Every structure is written in C-alpha cells, then in structure tokens.
C-alpha cells in the first residue's frame, strides 16, 4: 500500500473518533497545491540529465507552508504528499504558525559530485521559485539534504529576486542566517519527549536501554544527546547494518568509527546485527530514525520495546500501529517526536525576519518549553478521547487546522 493510502486511512480513522463531517474529511484529504517539475542539469561528463522534482503545499490555513526537501532515488508524489500533510499536523501540534509542505527530487545524491549537487539544487529552485517565499512557503533540509544545499538554494533564490531574503529557507549555515541549534534540533526535541515518556512510564534514565535505528543527522544526534542525559544506548544502525552492546555503546566512538569506515558496522567490542534484528531487540525504548514503513504488520509483534519514539517520519504502518496498541506499547508519534526540527526552523525564520539573533541557550530553552508542553497537550488529548498518543496528537492538530479553516470561511 502506498504511504498516501496509509495517510487517508488514518484520516478516516481519526475523523470517526472526532466525528468530522464529510466536507472536513474531504478538505483534509486534499492537498491545496501540487507542483511537479522536470529540469535539466549538466553533469560532469558534459551530458545533460533530466530530473523529476516535486513541491506539495498541503494546507496553509495556519500560516505559510513549511517543510523540507528530500533527495532520494525513491521519492515519488505519494510520499511527498504524505510528508507535506504530516508537516501541517506537526506545526499544529507544537503550535507554530505554519501550514505544511514538502519537496523532493528523485535522485541518488551519493552518486553526484559536489558540482553536480550544486547545479541540481540551483536548477530545482529555478523551477519552483515563484511558489516559495518567506510569507508563502519556506523549505528546509530533509533526508540527504543539508545546510550547504540550503545555502545554494538561498543564493539562487536571492539572485533571481535581486534582494536578500534569508527567511525563504531554513536549516541554513550560521553565516547565512542559520540558527544556533538547528543541526541537532530534531534529535534534541525527540530527546525532550523521550524524557517525558520515560517519566510517565517510570523509567529511570540510568536503568533505561535505548536502541536507535538510523545514524544520519537525527539518529546520531539522538544517540549522543540521550546518552548524555544518562540513558544507555545499547544498539544503533545505519543502512549497512547495526551494532549491539548490552553494556552500552560509547556513541562518540561509534560516530568516529562511522566517519572512518562509512558505517557503524564492525565497531570494536560490539556485536554486528542486521536492521531487522535491531527492531526486534529487547530494550526499553526504540527510536526509529530512518525512513518510512519500518515497523509493519510483519514485525510489530516481535517488537520488545516498551516505548517507541518516532524520530523518522512515518516509520510505523497503520496495521502495525494496531498490533502495538494491543501489546500496550507506548508510541510517541512522529508528528510530535520529530517536531523539534521544524520548531527551530521557526526560530530561525523569526530571527531572519527580525534580523536579530539568539544565543544557543535561548534556542535550547525555548525548544524545551515547546516540546515538553506539546507532549503534555498530546497526552491530555489522548486521555480525553481514551485513545493512544498518535490519535491524540492527530486530534489536537486537526482541531487547530479545522478551526483555522472555519475562521477563514473555507468550511
Ligand atoms: N524535514 C524536517 C521535518 O520533516 C524539518 C522541516 C522544517 O524544518 O521545515 O520535520
């Protein structure tokens, strides 16, 4: 089943719980604007290659649309639509004044030189510049995009417009108006909610084992931050495989090992395991921090964790969700668990609009307040509806979006 089919299934389920009417459901299932582009890039060998790109602006009732740009060979419209919808929910859950969007290019960036990557990024902005802007739609990094790519995109946009406009994109390098703390923000936000979930489950940090799937930006920072908070990281993995040490991994050393060898695999003193085995490990907290559809109906029954903190977007399918619910696993949903990234993107945008920049501690403290408060609100909402945290988070977000649409006279 495609990811967007899963999204529609979830909308139907939540709509029933909230007793939404047909018009409201239709609105939630319909992206406001879908832009599909195809553009040429001159490769290093002198040949022209064409690429497919997307930008979906799903809902803008609560503010300019916001969301990252993903470079991945498997990017398709269904995935981008789903991610854009989740962004709208995410921004509503943490209460920042944005709608939801997402972009993507169908490409394997690992196969490109730096020059090709720069040309690709600039060409994408040339194709979509008319529909983005600080008060329209504000892109950011996502899977396999980073601050350097944001810098090229900003530069291209400013050249086309003939003016400085740092608020058009977030996740920029500090030198171009990036915010302190943006690089680690997704993980830092996830760490705050993991800590809230642990408190509720009576899990003491030094007696709590945490397993992290994915060692990219979000996963590696998560492992580092959570281990600094006193939790025990027993296993981590990347696309090539994972490592396990029940006594606890030295995450800093694992990171150095990955820098040297290209993978966490074969880390000295730890046992090599597969990604499949990692998801089924006995542990207190499991953090999927890679891609969508990792916990499915085929492996949900084998998940041994008491708490799942979804740092990735959409790691659990609706079928798997039902199984986890029955097993009594507490799932802290993606739209809450990974909202720290877009929250600091919002801080970055505010600083850009003011031209006045905050120190790291201010960013950290403001993020902590928002994340812990959002966890509390999601928890209360799920209590009110006698449901799980995912449904609670969706209800909280959808109520805000529907109220904004109603105030505008759109429903
Ligand atoms: N790509 C990130 C996400 O999925 C961040 C989006 C943003 O900062 O706008 O939440």
pLDDT at 196 over 90: yes
pLDDT digits over 304-354, tens only? 999 999 999 999 998 999 999 999 999 999 999 999 999 999 999 999 999
pLDDT digits over 366-391, tens only? 999 999 999 999 999 999 999 999 99
Q: What is the mean pLDDT of the chain?
A: 97
Q: What is the mean pLDDT of residues 108-133?
A: 98
Residue ID of nearest Cα to ligand 1 atom 7: 342
For residue 138, give the ligand 1 atom closest to its CA.
Answer: 9
Span 31-176: which CATH code?
3.40.50.10860
Query: How far does residue 297's CA lie from ligand 1's centre (Å)?
Result: 27
What pLDDT, on a 0 to 100 scale, did the predictor assign at position 2? Answer: 79
The structural domains of the chain, with segments of one domain joined by +, span 31-176, 185-337
Q: For 320-373, what is the HEC assignment?
A: HHHHHHHHCCEEECHHHHCCHHHHHHHHHHHHHHHCCCCCHHHHHHHHHHHHHH
Architecture category of domain 185-337 in CATH: 3-Layer(aba) Sandwich (3.40)
Candidate list 66, 90, 102, 172, residue with the active-site label: 102
What pLDDT, on a 0 to 100 scale, did the predictor assign at position 105? Answer: 98
Q: What is the mean pLDDT of residues 130-150?
A: 97
31-176 against 185-337: fold identical? yes
Query: How far does residue 385's CA lie from ligand 1's centre (Å)?
Result: 28
Pocket perturbation via mutation, ligand 1, pick of 63, 65, 66, 67 by most ligand atoms within 8 A of CB: 67
Pocket perturbation via mutation, ligand 1, pick of 146, 342, 347, 367 by most ligand atoms within 8 A of CB: 342
| Percent of all residues in the chain with a pLDDT value above 90, rounded to a whole number | 97
Confidence of residue 208 (pLDDT cuts 50, 70, 90): very high
Pocket perturbation via mutation, ligand 1, pick of 85, 92, 139, 142 by most ligand atoms within 8 A of CB: 142
What pLDDT, on a 0 to 100 scale, did the predictor assign at position 292? Answer: 86
Q: What is the mean pLDDT of residues 146-155?
A: 98
What pLDDT, on a 0 to 100 scale, did the predictor assign at position 1? Answer: 60
Q: What is the mean pLDDT of residues 53-61?
A: 98
Q: What is the mean pLDDT of residues 65-85?
A: 97
Active site residue 373: no
Q: What is the mean pLDDT of residues 18-38?
A: 97
What pLDDT, on a 0 to 100 scale, did the predictor assign at position 128? Answer: 98
Confidence of residue 6 (pLDDT cuts 50, 70, 90): confident
Query: How far does residue 151's CA lie from ligand 1's centre (Å)?
Result: 16
Residues with CB under 6 A from ligand 1: 66-68, 140, 142, 170-171, 313, 338, 341-342, 345
For residue 70, give the ligand 1 atom closest to its CA.
Answer: 1
Query: How far does residue 140's CA lie from ligand 1's centre (Å)?
Result: 6
For residue 171, give the ligand 1 atom closest to its CA.
Answer: 8
pLDDT digits over 264-278, tens only? 999 999 999 999 999
Q: What is the mean pLDDT of residues 94-110?
A: 98
């Amino acid at each position: 089943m495609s990811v967007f089919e899963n999204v529609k299934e979830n909308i139907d389920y939540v709509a029933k719980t909230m007793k939404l009417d047909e018009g409201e459901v239709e609105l939630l299932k319909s992206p406001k604007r879908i832009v599909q582009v195809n553009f040429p890039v001159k490769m290093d060998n002198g040949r022209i290659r064409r690429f497919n790109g997307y930008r979906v602006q799903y809902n803008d009732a609560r503010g300019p649309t916001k969301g990252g740009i993903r470079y991945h060979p498997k990017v398709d419209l269904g995935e981008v639509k789903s991610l854009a919808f989740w962004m709208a929910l995410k921004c509503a859950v943490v209460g920042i004044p944005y709608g939801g969007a997402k972009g993507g290019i169908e490409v394997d960036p690992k196969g490109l030189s730096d020059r090709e990557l720069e040309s690709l990024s600039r060409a994408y902005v040339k194709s979509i510049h008319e529909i983005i802007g600080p008060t329209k739609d504000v892109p950011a990094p996502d899977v396999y995009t980073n601050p350097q790519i944001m810098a090229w995109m900003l530069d291209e946009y400013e050249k086309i417009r003939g003016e400085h406009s740092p608020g058009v994109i977030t996740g920029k390098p500090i030198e171009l108006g990036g915010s302190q703390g943006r690089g680690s923000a997704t993980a830092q936000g996830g760490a705050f909610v993991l800590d809230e979930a642990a408190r509720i489950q009576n899990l003491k940090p030094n007696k709590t084992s945490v397993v992290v799937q994915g060692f990219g930006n979000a996963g590696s920072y998560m492992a580092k931050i959570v281990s600094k908070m006193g939790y025990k990281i027993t296993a981590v993995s990347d696309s090539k495989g994972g490592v396990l040490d029940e006594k606890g991994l030295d995450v800093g050393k694992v990171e150095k090992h990955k820098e040297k060898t290209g993978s966490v695999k074969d880390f000295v003193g730890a046992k090599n395991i597969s990604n499949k085995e990692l998801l089924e490990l006995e542990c207190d907290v499991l953090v999927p921090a890679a891609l969508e559809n990792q916990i499915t109906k085929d492996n949900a029954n084998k998940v041994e964790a008491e708490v799942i903190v979804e740092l990735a977007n959409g790691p659990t399918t609706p079928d798997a969700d039902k199984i986890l619910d029955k097993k009594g696993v507490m799932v802290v949903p993606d739209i809450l668990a990974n909202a720290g990234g877009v929250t600091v993107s919002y801080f970055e945008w505010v600083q850009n609009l003011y031209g006045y920049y905050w120190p790291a501690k201010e960013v950290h403290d403001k993020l902590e307040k928002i994340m812990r408060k959002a966890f509390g609100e999601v928890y209360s909402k799920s209590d009110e509806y006698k449901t799980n945290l995912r449904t609670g988070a969706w209800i909280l977000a959808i109520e805000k979006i529907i109220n904004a649409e109603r105030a505008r006279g759109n429903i």
